[in-house]
């Protein structure tokens, strides 16, 4: 028994250390992101000033040599400005990987991409073929759409002039790893010649077509940040094929509906209940981000009750004040049909939160630690919901 107690103590200590390290890593990541934003912002101001000053120069009073110098200076300024814009785009793309993971339909994202590229698809008379064996992924939605957008738009951009443009998208499972393959019958690439530059930023291999050379750089970055890998097959005149293998963790779990660095949500259909596990104390902005994610997934997972696990870490006084004051109107602006109301461990104090309904169809957050079992938590939450309905009536 003594050894077991000692082992449990060590496990708890290790878990605490891991949580501390995780918080430090998240903090450093946010600091680095903020530093990148600051650098790009501080560079943009002087460059914009130079462009403005150049526009004020009365070029009619300059001789031809100085006119040429001013024109060259303007081109350099615009090049720097475009580079800063590209840097911001890369930073935002990297940051998007930290967004909440959720069920993502590849078919739906392809439809969204086709809407965005509709003009190009119609003009090029693109024939898009889908073979979907594994439609749903559990990953970052914006990243999947960005990957598909870049690959499909490249297929259209680098099509053969004398052939009908065909783009084929296949999805399947390979040893429990979801795979997406995007292939085309375009002009292709000479991989042995360009393989070391293929995923570099500002790398272009067909200068007759417009582009910055950022598409494949962004695709590879996003795929790897999601824990996946990318493989390319291509030859001049024979088109290209991009195979993206996602990690097994991107498979849809039967009850997992949301996941992020600060919380995870499971859905229990038999109870019409979502179980929220808070991994750490979230900021007010992160709580709002969570509610926005709930708004989207609740369309598919109708939730009457939210049972919150490890609630003490979340329900600090600051968070309760945020929920009672500025958060409520911001949620109202989102037109949510569900509103998570906090019921802390002191149940009597929790009853006071019934006053904060604000005409929402209430969804109650109940700390799991109050009760011995999840079923007891759900029963209590149902009783609270019924009592709230009686109060409102």
Q: Average pLDDT of 321-340?
A: 37
The whole domain housing 312 covers: 256-392
- Specify whether the CB–CB gap between 384 and 364 falls below 8 A: yes
Q: Hey, which of 117-121, 202-206, 308-312 has the most confident mean pLDDT?
A: 117-121
Q: Average pLDDT of 357-386?
A: 52
Whether residue 106 sits in one domain with residue 224: yes
CATH of the domain at 171: 3.30.565.10
The confidence score (pLDDT) of residue 228 equals 92
Whether residue 186 sits in one domain with residue 78: no
Number of domains in the chain: 3
> Which of 27-41, 50-64, 267-281, 353-367 is predicted least confidently?
353-367
Whether residue 112 sits in one domain with residue 237: yes
Whether residue 155 sits in one domain with residue 39: no
Residues 6+ positions from 344 with CB-CB distance below 8 Å = 311, 315, 320, 350, 367
Instruction: Name the domain boundary from 202, 232, 250.
Output: 250
| pTM for this predicted structure | 0.62
Whether residue 157 sits in one domain with residue 113: yes
DSSP-derived pairing of the beta strands 256-259 and 263-268: antiparallel
pLDDT for residue 105 is more than 80: yes
Whether residue 91 sits in one domain with residue 107: no
Whether residue 266 sits in one domain with residue 287: yes
Whether residue 320 sits in one domain with residue 302: yes
CATH of the domain at 270: 3.30.750
Whether residue 73 sits in one domain with residue 160: no
Instruction: Name the domain boundary from 96, 120, 145.
Output: 96
Whether residue 54 sits in one domain with residue 114: no
Instruction: Name the domain boundary from 54, 71, 96.
Output: 96
The confidence score (pLDDT) of residue 36 equals 55
Whether residue 310 sits in one domain with residue 351: yes
Whether residue 277 sits in one domain with residue 347: yes
**What are phi and psi for residue 258, nearest 5 degrees?**
-150, 150
């Amino acid at each position: 028994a003594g050894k077991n107690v000692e082992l449990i103590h060590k496990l708890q200590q290790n878990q605490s250390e891991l949580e501390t390290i995780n918080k430090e890593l998240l903090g450093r990541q946010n600091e680095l992101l903020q530093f990148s934003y600051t650098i790009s912002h501080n560079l943009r101001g002087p460059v914009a000033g130079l462009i403005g000053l150049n526009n004020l120069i009365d070029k009619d009073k300059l001789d031809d040599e100085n006119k040429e110098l001013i024109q060259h200076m303007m081109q350099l300024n615009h090049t720097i400005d475009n580079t800063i814009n590209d840097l911001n785009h890369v930073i935002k793309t990297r940051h998007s990987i930290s967004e909440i993971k959720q069920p993502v339909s590849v078919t739906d994202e392809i439809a969204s991409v086709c809407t965005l590229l509709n003009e190009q698809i119609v003009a090029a008379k693109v024939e898009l073929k889908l073979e979907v064996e594994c439609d749903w992924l559990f990953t970052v939605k914006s990243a999947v759409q960005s990957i598909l957008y870049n690959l499909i738009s490249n297929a259209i951009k680098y099509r053969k002039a004398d052939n009908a443009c065909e783009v084929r998208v296949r999805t399947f499972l390979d040893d429990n790893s979801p795979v997406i393959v995007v292939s085309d019958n375009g002009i292709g690439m000479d991989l042995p010649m360009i393989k070391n530059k293929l995923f570099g930023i500002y790398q272009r291999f067909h200068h007759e077509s417009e582009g910055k050379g950022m598409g494949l750089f962004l695709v590879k970055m996003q795929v790897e940040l999601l824990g996946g890998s990318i493989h390319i097959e291509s030859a001049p005149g024979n088109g290209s094929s991009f195979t993206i293998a996602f990690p097994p963790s991107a498979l849809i779990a039967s009850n997992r509906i949301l996941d992020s660095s600060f919380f995870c949500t499971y859905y229990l259909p038999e109870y019409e209940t979502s179980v929220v596990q808070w991994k750490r104390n979230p900021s007010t902005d992160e709580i709002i981000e969570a509610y926005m994610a709930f708004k989207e997934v609740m369309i598919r997972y109708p939730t009457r009750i939210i049972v919150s696990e490890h609630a003490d870490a979340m329900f600090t006084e600051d968070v309760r004040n945020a929920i009672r004051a500025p958060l409520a109107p911001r949620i109202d602006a989102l037109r949510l049909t569900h509103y998570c109301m906090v019921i802390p461990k002191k149940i009597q104090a929790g009853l006071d939160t019934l006053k904060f309904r604000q005409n929402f169809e209430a969804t109650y957050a109940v700390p799991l630690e109050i009760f011995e079992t999840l079923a007891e938590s759900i029963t209590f939450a149902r009783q609270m919901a019924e009592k709230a309905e009686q109060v409102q009536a």
